[in-house]
Structure 1
Amino acid sequence: HDIAEEEQRDEFASVFNGEIDPKVLITTARNPLQICYSFIQSLLPMIPKSIYYKRSEYDIREIVKYAKRRAFSDILIVKDDRNQLTTLTHIHLPNGPTAVYRLTSFVPSDDIKDHGRRTVHIPEVILNRFTTQLGHRVGRMLGALWPHRANFEGRQAVTLHNQRDFIFFRFHRYQFNQDGSRAALQELGPRFTLKMRNLQKGTFDEDPEYEWIRKKGMGTRTSFYL
């Protein structure tokens, strides 16, 4: 059976078919530093229906239960180490999967030269170069953080571009000439880069079962997985 058929039935189909709009709970690891808050402040306006919750002392399983009861579709957990961003954990609800990424190269909008201002329109989502079966799955999982009924008048686009297993994240607005042809892209920001460490079945387990895990020595120059 082909990938297209599989996608009709996967965990993200209801978002891509426009049946549901995602609703995203964003929180931090315990004891976050300022960089986590800066990153979350950049994400919130960019992901419609995303809400920040303070982590407090809850463990992840309690957060998962809470989010399911309130019909969230996804949880994002941002972690830093000594004020450097290190990890983004993405839990898809209600039944998984869970992806854990290394998070690097965060540039907030204010640090991008001539950046534009975001509007409230739902952006178009562009998934670039997710070519393997695993890549398709990861691209769809990330893409399902946004509603799939883009408002093209808003001319905004989120691009997730996979290159050698690094997923580059960019947010732009199209600018048009008077005759209606596309003229230029104005970057809105933020920017950041993800690299998947593992993909787990279910909603974050102490003893996870992995769909895929990056092992030491897998980073050879010629082998890529997405």
Structure 2
Amino acid sequence: METLFNNLDLFALGFQNTLLLFAVSAVFALGIGIVVGAMRVSPVPVMRAFGTLYVNLVRNTPLTLLMFFFAFGYPKLHLLKLPYTTLAIIALSIYTATYVAEVLRSGFNTVPTGQAEAARAIGLPFVQTMTLVIMPQAFRAVIPPMMSVFIALLKNTTVAAGFSVAEAGAIRANLSERGEPAILVLLWVALFFVILVGVLSVLQRYLERRWRVLR
């Protein structure tokens, strides 16, 4: 307990930044993923091709390599100067959005095609068909895999520690400089991650129960 209480400042800062990375990246990844997922099932060939290219290219690129580009390659482009935390959020959002898109695409496929045909028959364009008819049902069908994606995102935030972002993954290195035993630090970090994952699991069960009633 002394390792924790004597270093509450670093633990608090690390997990505060972890939650910031997670929350902001989750919002952006969900937004991008919805757009890309809709493009993947779009009747327009160019949009389908772009969505497929984006998913296959980014998803097959290691997150570390993507983070490396934004940390070291992006500044060489001499564009808008951004802090490392913002660049880490961009990398996490772009990467996680590919998994969100694929989960949503599988959800779209669970909706009977007759409903989309009926929506088009009454004159709804593709965007309204997706937002009013297909997406509400698809989201209910993909809660478990979607929460698994966000749990993976929470754990992926630790990659940012290697690129000058002071989040939970950097706690061990910082406390090593204070002479704290590394194994105890790692156990505390792991425990807090288990708690955070448990919170997401509880949220998943709540959403499943809530939306099961609404179906």
Q: Same fold (TM over 0.5)?
A: no
Point out the structure with the larger helix share: 2
Point out the structure with the larger strand share: 1
- TM-score normalised by the chain length of structure 1: 0.28
User: RCO greater where, 1 or 2, for CA within 8 Å and sep 6 or more?
Assistant: 2
Q: Which one has the largest radius of gyration?
A: 2
- TM-score normalised by the chain length of structure 2: 0.29
